[in-house]
Structure formats: C-alpha cells, structure tokens
Amino acid sequence: MTDTQTGQATWYETVLATLKANDVRLVTYVPDRVLTPLIKAVHEDAFFTAFPCTREEEAIGIVSGAWMGGMRGAVLMQTSGFGTLPNALASLVAPCQIPALIFVSQRGTLGEFNLGQALVCRTVQPVLDSIGIESHTITRQDELAFIVDRSIKQAVATQAPVTFILSPLLTGGKIFGA
C-alpha cells in the first residue's frame, strides 16, 4: 500500500519495513493519534509482537528485558510520553547500554494548540542531550529509511539507545480542530 496521490510509500510503511528488515519484532507503545496507522499496521502483521502498555516506562522496561533475552524491540509514544521517561532512560537503558529504539511522535510544535504539549516538547532534546542519547528529528520521507535503518544498526553495534523524533513535517502531525 502506498500514498494514493504520490505513489510513494507512506512514513509508517517505511518505518514498518525498516523494523522488519532489521529483525525488530517487538513493539510496545502508549497510543498517539498520529501513530495510529503504524500501530494498526504492526498489529496486523504477524511478524510483530505488539501490544499497548499503561506507561511509557513500562514499555521501555519490557523492551529492555526482551533485548537481554535476545529480541530487538521498539517503543512508540507521543512527546508527552517521552516526558515521563528520564529516570528509566538514565537509570536503566543508558547505564546498561541497551539499544532501545524509541520513536516519539512529535507534538508541541509546528501548529500546536495545547500549551502543555508545547512546553513538554521543549524538554525532549535537553533530556536526550543531557543523558547523551543519540537522536534524530526526522522531517522528510526521502531520508526516513536511511536514518532509521542506519541508526538501528548503529544502536545494536554500539549498544546504545536511539531516539527518532517524527516531526509533523514527516507525519502531517495533529491539526487544530481535527
């Protein structure tokens, strides 16, 4: 399935294909509207074990355990979910050198209508930088596969987590009133 207007793969098809190509079989998440098509797609594909968690920390813990047991995993969340994570990242994922693959659907910028979302959005990059976690804000479909594929390989090879911030420029974001 491709974008009907352009004939190109959609962002979520590219993410799904790249996870598969890198044998990332576990996907845990706390939902976000923009992530809906990706969440639906991983549920519909028997390659993946996918389920929701009650908190993003929990989702991170599960993926960390799975990695230690030999299975690669990704966590999907909204910007506000990332806001709950500094302790789990700083006291588990980073010091244990676990290549957690963290996808953050970016709310809070480029047309945000909720001030709280806008503020939590500004905490994301400083938190990542202060813990020293690699991150990429992805804005373009033509760069998506390259960034995600290469970064997953780097995360595994260097035993380091990586965060993919999915910009509204890539996903369309959430529109006021929509």
Is the CA virtual torsion 122, 156, 16, 148 positive or negative? positive
Among residues 21, 95, 143, 150, which is the contact residue for another protein, using CB under 8 A? 95
Q: How far is the CB of 95 from another protein (least distance, A)?
A: 4
Please list, in sequence order, all residues whose beta carbon lies within 8 angstroms of the beta carbon of residue 87, skipping any fewer than 6 positions away.
57
Count interface residues toward another protein (CB under 8 A).
Answer: 32
Considering the rule CB under 8 A, would residue 69 count as an interface residue with another protein?
Answer: yes
Cα distance between residue 45 and residue 42, in whole Å: 5
Q: What is the DSSP string of 22-39?
A: TTEEEEEE---TTTHHHH
Considering the rule CB under 8 A, would residue 177 count as an interface residue with another protein?
Answer: no
Considering the rule CB under 8 A, would residue 26 count as an interface residue with another protein?
Answer: yes
Q: How far is the CB of 87 from another protein (least distance, A)?
A: 7
Q: What's at 73, amino acid-wise?
A: G
Binding residues vs another protein (CB under 8 A)? 26, 49, 51-55, 57-71, 73, 87-88, 90-92, 95-98
